[in-house]
């Protein structure tokens, strides 16, 4: 009569060495992957942030419930869209930079004439109606001071911007809008 031997009888008491080694390597690789993901997440958070858009002041460029990706510590140029905070206001503002430090300007009857030309000759200008408080604050200025920006919303008729709260300080700027994700709600409404 033939005897059938079980394969389990060889190593009944201990697990194979190869399995322990594989488990150890997989555990170390998993931990390394988690550490790399955590560090990458921290670096991304330090360089970028996301903000939702509320209101219509940047329409049609940005609309209600769009999300924007803001890159921190990026140089600001004229016509860039930036995210910033305003003292005494809640939340973040997202507006377009029109006036840069050093741009010449003058105030007449609550109106600001802003020169964006190359040589200060007022050949290329913007004119903005200011709130009386801001016009009074700007009255003595002939140039936008260093570290300050004049911003407006793209939908100028409804925008609360530098015309009502004054210049935006460089230290209040979180960063420059790099990308926006259109609202999914708006996409669904358009398809219906």
Say if CB 53 and CB 62 are below 8 A apart: yes
Nearest to 70 by CA among 60, 84, 56: 84
- For residue 161, give both structure tokens: 């911007």
Express the helix, strand and coil content of the chain in percent, nearest 5 each. 30, 30, 45
Active-site residue set: 57, 95
Per-residue pLDDT of the chain (192 residues; tens, 9 = 90+): 566 555 555 555 555 556 888 888 899 999 999 999 988 888 777 888 888 999 999 999 998 889 999 999 889 999 999 999 999 888 899 999 999 999 999 999 999 999 998 776 788 899 999 999 999 999 999 999 999 999 999 999 999 999 999 999 999 999 999 988 886 555 555 555
- For residue 67, give both structure tokens: 């999300």
Which pLDDT does position 40 carry in this prediction?
82
Nearest to 127 by CA among 147, 144, 148, 108: 108
Element (H, E) at 29: helix 17-47
Residue 105 to residues 30, 131, 132, Cα–Cα distance (Å): 59, 16, 17
Which pLDDT does position 187 carry in this prediction?
52
Which pLDDT does position 109 carry in this prediction?
93
Which pLDDT does position 1 carry in this prediction?
56
Count CB-CB contacts under 10 A for residue 19.
Answer: 9
Which pLDDT does position 17 carry in this prediction?
55
Q: What CA–CA distance (Å, rounded) separates 129 from 113? A: 9
- For residue 44, give both structure tokens: 């991304």
Which pLDDT does position 118 carry in this prediction?
74
Say if CB 69 and CB 179 are below 8 A apart: yes
Which pLDDT does position 68 carry in this prediction?
93
């Amino acid at each position: 009569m033939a005897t059938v031997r079980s394969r389990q009888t060889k190593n009944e008491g201990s697990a194979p060495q190869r399995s322990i080694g594989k488990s150890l390597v997989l555990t170390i690789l998993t931990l390394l992957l988690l550490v790399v993901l955590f560090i990458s997440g921290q670096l991304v958070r330090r360089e970028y942030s996301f903000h939702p858009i509320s209101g219509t002041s940047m329409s049609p460029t940005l609309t209600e419930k769009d999300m924007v990706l803001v890159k921190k510590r990026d140089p600001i140029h004229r016509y860039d869209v930036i995210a910033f905070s305003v003292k005494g206001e809640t939340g973040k503002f997202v507006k377009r930079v029109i006036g840069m430090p050093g741009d010449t300007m003058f105030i007449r009857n609550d109106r600001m004439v802003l020169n964006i030309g190359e040589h200060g000759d007022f050949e290329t200008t913007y004119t903005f109606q200011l709130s009386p408080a801001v016009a009074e604050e700007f009255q003595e200025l002939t140039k936008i001071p260093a570290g300050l920006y004049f911003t407006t919303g793209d939908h100028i008729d409804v925008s609360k911007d530098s015309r009502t709260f004054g210049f935006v300080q460089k230290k209040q700027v979180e960063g420059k809008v790099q990308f926006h994700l259109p609202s999914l709600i708006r996409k669904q409404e358009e398809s219906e």
